[in-house]
Amino acid sequence: MKKALVIGAGLGGLATALRLSTQGYRVEIVEKYHQAGGRLNQLKKDGFVFDTGPSFFSMSYEFEEFFKYCKINNPLKFNELDPLHAIYFADREKPFLMHKNLSKLAKEFEGIEPNFEVKARKFLDQAKGIFHDTEYRIVKRNYDSILSYLMALASVPLKHAPKLLKTVWTDLSETFESHEVKVIFSLVAFFLGATPFDTPAVYSLLNYTELEHDGYWNVQGGMYKIVETFLAELEKRNVQIHYGVEITSFENQNGSISAFIDQHGKRWLSDVYIANSDAASFRGMVLNRKKYTETKLDKLEWTLSPFTVYLGVKGKVPNLYHHTYFLGDNFENYANNIFKMSVSPQKPYYYVNVSSKHNPEVAPEGCENIFILCPMPDLRYKKDWTDSETLAENIIADMSKRIGYDLKVNTLTRTIWNPIDWQDNFNLYKGSGLGLAHGLNQVGGLRPANKDEQFGNLYYVGASTVPGTGLPIVVISSRLATERILKDHGN
Ligand X SMILES: Cc1cc2nc3c(=O)[nH]c(=O)nc-3n(C[C@H](O)[C@H](O)[C@H](O)COP(=O)(O)OP(=O)(O)OC[C@H]3O[C@@H](n4cnc5c(N)ncnc54)[C@H](O)[C@@H]3O)c2cc1C
User: Which one among 469, 481, 484, 485 touches ligand X, defined by CB under 6 A?
Assistant: 469
Task: Please report whether residue 10 would count as binding ligand X according to CB under 6 A.
Answer: yes
348 is a contact residue toward ligand X (CB under 6 A): no
Q: Which of 244, 404 has the CB closer to ligand X?
A: 244
Told to check if 306 binds ligand X by CB under 6 A, we report yes
Q: How do beta strands 48-51 and 42-45 pair?
A: antiparallel
Nearer to ligand X, 120 or 226 (CB): 226
Angle in degrees, CA 139, 81, 96, rounded to 5: 105
Per CB under 6 A, does 38 bind ligand X?
yes
Q: Are 297 and 281 in contact (CB under 8 A)?
A: yes
Task: Tell me the closest approach of the beta carbon of residue 225 to ligand X, in angstroms.
Answer: 14
Contact positions with ligand X (CB under 6 A) in 39-58: 39-40, 53-57
Question: At 463, phi and psi to the nearest 5?
Answer: -65, -30
Peptide bond connecting 377 to the previous residue in cis, omega within 30 degrees of 0: no
CB 352, min distance to ligand X, A? 12
**Can you tell me whether residue 264 is helix, strand or coil?**
coil
**Does residue 167 bind ligand X (CB under 6 A)?**
no
CB 230 within 8 A of CB 74: no
Q: Give the Cα separation of 67 and 45 in Å (integer).
A: 31
Using CA atoms, how far apart are residues 253 and 246, in angstroms rounded to an integer? 22
Mark 230-269 with x for binding to ligand X (rule: CB under 6 A) and - for no binding: ----------------xx----------------------
Binding pattern to ligand X, positions 94-113, x when CB under 6 A? --------------------
Whats the size of the chain, residue-wise?
A: 491
CB count within 10 Å of CB 295 equals 8
Kindly state whether residue 427 participates in binding ligand X, applying the rule CB under 6 A: yes
Q: Which residues pair with 19 in a beta bridge?
A: none
Binding-site member from 4, 5, 11, 376 for ligand X (CB under 6 A): 11
Cβ partners under 8 Å of residue 128, min gap 6: 205, 208, 212, 213
The correct pick among 4, 30, 311, 407 for binding ligand X (CB under 6 A) is 30
- For 169-269, list the strands marked E by DSSP: 217-219, 240-243, 247-253, 256-262, 267-268
CB of 81 to ligand X, least distance (A): 11
Complex with ligand X: residue 9 or 354, whichever CB lies closer: 9
* 277 contributes a contact to ligand X by CB under 6 A: yes
Question: Which of 28, 31, 171, 180: binder of ligand X (CB under 6 A)?
Answer: 31
Considering only residues 364 to 403 of the shown chain, the ones binding ligand X according to CB under 6 A are 373
User: Residue 26: which of 34, 17, 35, 37 has the closest Cα?
Assistant: 17
Point out which residues bind ligand X (CB under 6 A). 7-13, 30-33, 38-40, 53-57, 246-247, 276-277, 306, 308, 373, 426-427, 433-434, 462-463, 469-471, 474
